[in-house]
Structure 1
Amino acid sequence: MAATAEDRSREINYDESKVGTYVLPDPLAFADGTPVKSPEDWTARRRPELAKLFESQMFGRLPEAARAVKPRCVVTSEAKDALSGKAARRLVDIHVGDDPAAPAIHLLVYLPANLEPGRRVPTFLCLNFWANHAIADEPGIPLSTRWIGSGAPAGVVDNRATEKARGSDHMIPVERILARGYAVATAYYGDIEEDHAGAMKNGVRGLFLRPGQVEPAADEWGAIAAWAWGLSRAMDYLEAAPDVDARRVALMGHSRLGKTALWAGVNDPRFAIVISNNSGEGGAALSKRNYGETIEHLNTSFPHWFCGNYKAYTGRPDALPFDQHEEIALIAPRPVLVVSAEEDRWADPKGEFLAAKAAEPVYKLLGTDGLGLDTWPTPAIDSLSRGTIGYRYRPGKHDVTVDDWVAYMDFADHHWNIRR
């Protein structure tokens, strides 16, 4: 008989003495056990081998039709005097299919005001949870008509937005980001696929089903892979935008969207920096470490997030042929920043740090400095480390704060040699 939600909650461990022992797979060993000895070994053989493993057993592979998509990007609105003159605002519809009923990704872009002609600015790209109208209280941003999940900050009735939802999302402090000289690009993750188990038919995964197919195969993409695919379609637009420095696009994601950002970073080398904020199980935290959220919880509460093959590891984390330090390693040698919060025990902050540390040998093999920390730091607002693998451990809960954004921008400044 399946365990109830109450039973599962009792099984969650928050006691370090009960973590137990576990063995992490070596990212620098081929599947046959032979060692990876050179950067060429990693790039040509081990990295593809490992990426394929994550794809087939966790996130799911993309259908060939999705891989072949060339999106059609249409600028639908531009305002030079947005945010009381502090910004230029651009709305872009990214069409990923020819069917008029196919979902479109609505990208909201804010640029610093009065950019000189020909100037290209570094940009932060992120998906948002509550739709674009919640990012800023501006009537020029259309109210989303998509399903919006429970937990929205304000103005959502029966999973639909009302006018009261405008400007209700605090997670992207646009004006603070613009003041540092960065642009912001964001889209609602529900434009790509809504976040509930029955949403596939209305999202991009439904769009790419083969004739006669009613659901993805066991090794085909789950929702997280679909959201990551959508981020790459947003990058397709940013790469062509005349005022975006496409060589300096930092990808940020929080919680489930932090899991998404990591997988998007693995698959798309155009993201110059990848930032995981409180991504936890299935994100930056080690799965084999018995602490906080579990694979069982992911597959029970969010069965649509990962591919069908991932269900085989429910209650069996020791059977996983990989762990999350290897996903971080797949982003190497590009900078990656892992951010943890002291009160967010569900996401296992220590497990996030240990995963970042265990990815270090790959970064060092590729000639970078890796994490550069040997011990888990105490939480402090200014605890940001700026190695090629960065780590920040702050007080507080599962959230995105203004101080987090200051850290993201400090990290980007450092790695892009931006002097203030």
Structure 2
Amino acid sequence: MTASFRISRRAALAALAGTAAGGTALAATATGTTRAGAAACSPLPGNLPSPGSLPSIPELPDPFTTYEGTRLASPDEWACRRAQLSELIQNYEYGHLPAGSATGSRNGSTLTVNARGLVGSASFTATVRLPSGSGPFPALILLNGLAASATSRGYAEVTINPNAIAADGGPKTGAFWQANGTAGVDTGGLMAWAWGVHRTLDAIEAAVPEIDATKVGVSGYSRYGKAALVAGAFDERIALTVPGSSGTAGMGNYRFFYSNDREDIDDIVLGAPYWVTPEMVGFAGQPTRLPIDQHSVAALVAPRPLLTTNGTEGSDIRTNPQGIAATHRAARMVYTYLGAEDRIGIAYRPGGHQLDINDYNAIMDFADWHLRGRQPTRDFNQIPYPEDPAAIPWTIPG
């Protein structure tokens, strides 16, 4: 990406962020600033190095060391580092998140999301299901369905069709592209789907008073689990993030695998390049040159609640469940640093690549804990894999 393009894109993001009601709180991170009240960061270089010129980092990159090479001295400095990670992740992995806004209108169970983006507007629909009783209710935005209905546990469900937001393939069709255009946009499909989640939350705030918009989570499975993680990482309004069996580009990191049956970086950048930014293809065959990894993405969710679900057998081996354990452990160190260790959890289950009742129960129990204050009876840090010292040789500062 050229320096002139990056500067003009940042200006567009900042301008739209300043005028878009309900836009994401993170939209200004591309300019090197953070949410109101946080300290400003040293801007990253206007033209970040190309993938081939980056150094090889065999371990998961230390989230506590800044781009300049300085180690954090206190949690107060996390906002600066977080802003750097946000821009690095957007530049090298998912592409940039355009700011936006949306209004909504509801007719029965159909919520129409009228979204505004960088160049125009577009609409898509979501399906709303409410539990019995009187609200406002906590809710889950679902990129695909759960094994049972969340309404039976007192949660509203808002189900969206990711492909109506951005087609899962090469053609750039769907509401995201209609609203943001295609010329010069480096955004990949996972970030486009995340943008759709954010616009859905805008519409909920505007048109569904039965939902408590301060207690809305996002859940997705497989490729939509990847998108759920991205959605939670890049909008601080999301109160709970649940990536399920998300694999590489989700909670599965790019560096550490423990089986030959795996989805690795080449599967992403060569098999599904439309999920990520074009810059990402430069890391094909050399993932250790990435200055970030998936624990960096999970760290953007901190200190908000984050739950990872995954199988340990069969077809879910391809999602790298043991590598996901390394991602979780590394991200948990950031949560610990911020005094929020209990807000990150992981729930393994037997079985393959599927969403089953074990996932459902874990999601609802974790949601009850963090959105309703109901103490769980289970331990959300049970990991059936040993630690790998090579993955995390660094420590928590102080």
The normalised TM-score by structure 1 is 0.70
Query: CA, structure 1 residues 92+50, in 2 after alignment: closer, same or farther (shift >3 Å)?
Result: same
Q: Deviations over 1:89-138 (max 9, x none)?
A: x211112259xx9652211010013x33xx3111111113xxxxxxxxxx
**1:381-410 deviations in Å (ceiling 9; x for gaps):** xxxxxx321011101111111221111000
Aligned counterparts of 2:326 and 2:231: Cα–Cα separation in 1? 21
Corresponding letter in the other structure for 2:113: I
Alignment equivalent of 1:72, drawn from 95, 103, 128? 103
Distance 2:355 2:110 in 1: 24
Q: How many residues align?
A: 311
Following superposition, the deviation at residue 223 of structure 1 comes to 0.9
Aligned equivalents of 2:290 and 2:177: distance in 1?
26
The correspondence of residues 328-367 of structure 1 with structure 2, limited to 5 A, is 328-343=298-313, 344-367=316-339
- 1:190 maps to which residue? 163
1:296 matched to 2:266? The reply is yes
Gaps of 5+ in 2: 1-56, 376-398
| Among 382, 391, 398, the residue aligned to 2:346 | 391
- Report if the CA contact (8 A) 2:123-2:175 is conserved: no
Alignment partner of 1:125 is 2:141: yes
| Residue type at the aligned position of 2:356 | T
CA contact 2:312–2:351 (8 Å) conserved in 1: yes
Is the alpha carbon distance of 1:193 and 1:123 closer, same or farther for their aligned partners in structure 2, counting shifts above 3 Å? same
Take 1:33 and 1:187, find their aligned partners in 2: how far apart are those partners?
A: 41
| Alignment-derived partner of residue 253 in structure 1 | 220
Map Cα deviations across residues 236-290 of structure 1 (whole Å, 9 max, x no partner). 1222321111121121111111111111111101111111100010110111114
**What does 1:9-48 correspond to in 2, within 5 Å?**
22-43=58-79, 45-48=80-83
Note closer, same or farther for the CA distance 1:417–1:103 as it changes in structure 2 (3 Å cut): closer
State the SS of the aligned residue for 1:338: strand
Alpha-carbon distance change, 102 to 190 in structure 1, aligned in 2, over 3 angstroms = farther
Partners of 2:138 and 2:371 within 8 A in 1:
no
AA of the residue aligned to 1:46? R
1:40 positional shift: 1.7
1:109 aligns with 2:128: yes
User: Is the contact made by 1:287 and 1:323 (CA closer than 8 Å) also made in structure 2?
Assistant: yes
- Alpha-carbon deviation of 1:23? 1.3
Determine if contact 2:218/2:240 at 8 Å carries over to the other structure. Answer: yes
1:235 aligned residue (191, 194, 201): 201
Q: For residues 262-273 of structure 1, what are the structure 2 equivalents within 5 Å?
A: 262-273=229-240
> Residue 155 of structure 2 aligns to which amino acid in structure 1?
Y
User: Contact 1:103 / 1:191 at 8 angstroms: preserved in 2?
Assistant: no
Structure 2 Cα separation of the partners of residues 419 and 363 of structure 1: 20
For 1:172, give the aligned amino acid: L
Deviation of the 1:201 alpha carbon: 3.9
- Displacement of 1:62 after TM fit? 3.1
SS class of match (2:242): strand
Assess if the C-alpha contact under 8 Å between 2:243 and 2:251 holds in 1. Answer: yes
1:223 maps to amino acid = G
**TM-score w.r.t. length of structure 2:** 0.74
Could you say which residue in structure 1 is the equivalent of 2:359?
A: 404
1:328 alignment partner AA: A
Which residue in the other structure is 1:132 paired with?
A: none
**Structure 2 vs 1, CA of residues 23 and 173 (structure 1 numbering), >3 Å: closer, same or farther?**
closer
CA contact (8 A) 1:285 1:347 kept: yes
Name the CA distance, whole Å, in 1 between partners of 2:147 and 2:221. Answer: 14
> Which one has a larger percent helix, Structure 1 or Structure 2?
2
Deviation at 1:172, TM superposition (A): 2.7
SS of match in other structure, 1:270: coil
Give the 5 Å matches for 1:110-189. 110-113=129-132, 115-116=133-134, 119-128=135-144, 171-173=145-147, 176-189=149-162
Look up the match of 2:275: 305
Contact 2:257–2:322 (CA<8 Å) still a contact in 1? no
CA contact (8 A) 2:188 2:275 kept: yes
**Distance in 2, Cα, partners of 1:106 & 1:360:** 35
Number of the residue aligned with 2:91: 56
Secondary structure at 1:71's aligned position in 2? strand
User: How far apart are the structure 2 equivalents of 1:325 and 1:197?
Assistant: 28
User: Which letter does structure 2 place at the counterpart of 1:351?
Assistant: G
Which residue pairs with 2:36 in the alignment? none
Cα deviation for residue 416 of structure 1 reads: 2.8
Report the identity percentage.
Answer: 33
Amino acid in structure 1 at the alignment position of 2:104: C
In the alignment, what sits opposite 2:22? none
Q: Could you say what secondary structure the match of 1:326 adopts?
A: helix
Determine helix, strand or coil for the equivalent of 1:337. Answer: strand
Bigger Rg, structure 1 or 2:
1
What amino acid maps onto 1:300 in structure 2?
L
Structure 1: gaps spanning 5 or more residues? 1-20, 79-89, 129-170, 370-386
Q: CA RMSD in A?
A: 2.0
In the TM superposition, residue 202 of structure 1 has moved relative to its aligned partner by: 4.3
Check whether the contact 1:194–1:203 (CA below 8 A) recurs between aligned residues: no
Separation in structure 1 between the aligned mates of residue 125 and residue 374 of structure 2, nearest angstrom = 33
Instruction: Measure how far apart 1:203 and its partner are.
Output: 4.3
Aligned to 2:18: none
Equivalent residue of 2:61, what SS? coil
Amino acid across the alignment from 1:308: P
**SS of the residue aligned with 2:281?**
helix
Structure-2 residue corresponding to 1:323: 293
CA contact (8 A) 1:201 1:207 kept: no
